[in-house]
Structure 1
Amino acid sequence: MQDYPIGTPGTPWSEAEKKQWLNAQTVKRSYKEEVIDRLPALPDNYEISQYGALPYDESRYPLFVIKPKSFVTSLPTVLVTGGVHGYETSGVQGALKFVSQHLAAWQHKCNFVVAPCVSPWGYETINRWDPLAIDPNRSFRENSPAPESAMLKAMVDAIEEPIHMHIDLHETTDTDNSEFRPALGARDGITQDVWDIPDGFYLVADSGKVELDFQKAIIEKVRAVTHIAPADENDKIIGADVLSDGVISYDKKSLFLCGGLTDAPYVTTTEVYPDSPSASDEICNDAQVAAIIGGLEYILA
C-alpha cells in the first residue's frame, strides 16, 4: 500500500490533517444536473420527498427519497439505496434508471422506497468519505457523526411498514487501492491490508442472514448483463471467504453498514466493477437494475 501525502505514517490524523484533506477536494460534477434534474416522472401513487439536507450546504445538497404516497399494507416494502459512497456512480444512476424505466411495472407488487444519492457531496467530489473525513458506510448507528447516515437512518426508521428487502447499490473501483484505502490507513495511522480489486460483479450478503438462494438469484440475473467476479487464489474476494459464485458476506450491523440499517430478511450489497475493460457506464447501470429485479423476482416467487 502506497504512502499517503497527508499526515505522518503511524499517527492518526488530527483536525488539522482532516482540514488539509478537505481543502484538497474539488467539485468534479454536478449533483443538481446529474441527480436532481434527472429525478423521473413517477406513477400516480408515488412522490419525491425531501428527507433532509446536508449541513455543509443545505441549498446545494437536499436529500430526496422516492416513495409511495400511501403504502399498501398487503405488499412487501423494498428499500433501494444508492450513492452511500458518492464516488460509486452506477449506484446512483442505476437507482434512477430503475425508477424511471421499471418502477411503473412493479408498483403493484411492492412498496418501493428509493434513496438514489445518500451522499451528494461525495457524488460531486467523487469521494468515499464526507467532508468530515468520515465513511458514511461505517456510520449507520445511533448518534451517527455522519449526517448522510443519520438522516437516512431517521427517514427509514420512520417507515411504519416492515422492510422486506433492502438492496444497497455500490461499486468496487481501482481507486479503492490507489486512493481510498491509502487515505484510510493514513487517517487512522494503521497499515491497511492489500488485496486485488475483483474484476467483475459480486454481492456482499449479511452474515447473520445470508439467504444464499436469494443471493444466487441476483447473481444469475446480473450474469446476463456483465461478468461475475472470480475468487482469488485464496478463494476470497476482497479478503472475505466466497460463499458461492460472486457472493461474500459481512456482519453488517456490527460494522454499521447501510445494509444493516433494517431488519429486512432479504439484504444484499451490490458491487459493480466500472474499471473493467469490458465495462461501460451503461453496463454498470444495467447491472444495478438487473440486481434489483433479480431480488424482486426471488422474493415474489
Structure 2
Amino acid sequence: MISERFHPIGTPGTPWGDAEKAEWLAQQSRRRSYLEDVVKAVDALRDRFDVHQYGQLEYHGESFPLYALRSREWRPELPAALVTGGVHGYETSGVHGALQFARDDAADYEGRVNLVVVPAVSPWGYERIHRWNAHAVDPNRSFVPGSPAGESAALMELVASLRGRILVHIDLHETTDTDESEFRPALAARDGKAFEPGTIPDGFYLVGDSEKPQPGFQKAIIDAVAKVTHIAPPDSAGRIIGEVPAQPGVINYPLRKLGLCASVTDAPYVTTTEVYPDSPKATPRQCNDAQVAAVRAALDYALAQEGA
C-alpha cells in the first residue's frame, strides 16, 4: 500500500477518478497562445506549402484546429517524410524547431522528398505548457487503435493515407527538469502508483525503435546535433532515463508497444529527439537549431541510403 503523499491531488495508492481529474483541470491555466505562436506562423507559410487542416479539437468551449504543412509540389513517385512536433505541448523546441525547419530549410529538399510537417500535435497542451491533454491523457502513449486522445487519433488518421510511402519520421521532443519535478509525480499520482525519483539527462539524446534499430541513422543525427549542442552522457549507473544506451546518445524503446508517436508510420527510419532546454549550456535558439539539425541529418541519411 502506498501511504506517502508526493502529489497534492488524490489519495496515495488510489488512481484518480473524475473528481481528481476535475481538480487537476481546474488548476491548469492558459499561459501562451497557439493562435499567435503557431497558427500565424503556419499561415505565413501558405505561399510555400499546402496547409491542410487535418482535424479539430474541442475542449470545454475551446476549439483548436490541427494543421499539417505539405509539400506544394507533391510528386507521387517520391518518398515522403513526416516531421512532428508538440506531441507533448510543453516541449517548446519541438514546435518551434518544426516551424523553423519548414520556414528555413524545407526548400532544400524540394524535388527529393515529399514533406509533411505537423508542428503542434497538442495545442491545448502547448497553451497550458503541459504534457497531457485536457482529459489528463498523455498523447504520446496513445498512438493505439481506438486512441483515448483526440490529438493522437487525428494524427493517425492523417498518416493512414500515407502508409507504405513514408521513408522517415522524426518526432521532436524535449526532456525537461519539470519531467522530474512535476510530470512524473503527477503520472504516478494519477495512476495510483508510487513515485520513483529519476534523473534528467544533461544534453540531447535520441530514442530509436528496438524492433527495427537503425544505428547508422541514429549516429548520423547525433553527429550532426553535436555540432549545435552537447550530447547527454549516461548517468552514474551507465543509463539514460533508465535504459542502457545502444550507442552514445541513443536508447531504444519498443515504440509501437508503448503507443509512442514515432510508431505511427511504417517508415524504416524513425526516431524521437530529446532536447534538454534547462541546461545552462543551451539557449532556446540552440534548442530549436538542434531540432532542425536533427531533421536535416535524418532526411540526408535516409535519402542517401535510398539513393534519392
Query: TM-score, length-normalised on structure 1?
Result: 0.96
**2:158 corresponds to 1:175:** no
In structure 2, list runs of 5 or more residues that go unmatched.
none
CA–CA distance in structure 2, aligned partners of residues 153 and 295 of structure 1: 21
Q: 1:200 & 1:153 partners in 2: Cα distance?
A: 30
Deviations 1:12-70 (A, max 9, x none): 001100010000000000000110111242565x3011001112168641000001346
Q: Which moved more, 1:165-174 or 1:188-197?
A: 188-197
2:263 maps to 1:263? no
Match of 1:15 among 9, 15, 18: 18
Equivalent residue for 2:45, pick from 41, 46, 61: 41
- 273, 282, 293: which is aligned to 2:285? 282
Percent sequence identity over aligned pairs = 55
What corresponds to 2:119 in structure 1? 116
In the alignment, residue 255 of structure 1 is paired with which amino acid? L
Give aligned pairs, total.
Answer: 300
SS at match of 1:65: strand
Q: 1:201 aligns with which of 196, 199, 204?
A: 204
**Distance (Å, rounded) in 1 between the aligned partners of 2:61 and 2:124:** 11
Partner of 2:103: 100
1:27/1:76 CA distance change after superposition, 3 Å = same
Cα shift readout 1:61-83 (whole Å, capped 9, x = no counterpart):
10000013463233221000000
Q: Which amino acid aligns with 1:131?
A: A
What's the secondary structure of 1:238's corresponding residue? coil
What's the CA shift string for 1:204-252, capped at 9, x where partnerless? 0011111001000000000000000001122110001101110001100
The CA distance in 2 between the partners of 1:233 and 1:250, in whole Å, is 21
Give the conservation status (yes or no) of the 8 Å contact 2:85–2:121: yes
1:148 alignment partner in structure 2: 151
Which amino acid counterpart does residue 89 of structure 2 have in structure 1?
G
Equivalent pair of 1:198/1:238 in contact (CA under 8 Å):
yes
**Which of 66, 69, 76 does residue 66 from structure 1 map onto?**
69
| Aligned-residue RMSD, C-alpha | 1.5
The 1:266–1:209 alpha-carbon spacing in structure 2 relative to 1, beyond 3 Å, is same
Distance 1:200 1:106 in 2: 28
Aligned counterpart, 1:234: 237
Q: Deviations over 1:168-193 (max 9, x none)?
A: 00000000011000000000000233
Residue type of the partner of 1:219?
I
CA distance in 1, matches of 2:61, 2:151: 12
CA contact (8 A) 1:61 1:120 kept: yes
SS of alignment partner, residue 55 of structure 1? strand
Q: Which runs of 5+ in 1 are unaligned?
A: none
Q: Which range moves more in the overlay, 65-74 or 266-275?
A: 65-74
Aligned to 1:240, the other structure's residue is in SS state coil
Q: Which amino acid aligns with 2:265?
A: T
2:142 to 127, 134, 139: 139
Matched, 1:249 2:252: yes
8 Å CA contact retained: 1:86, 1:127: yes
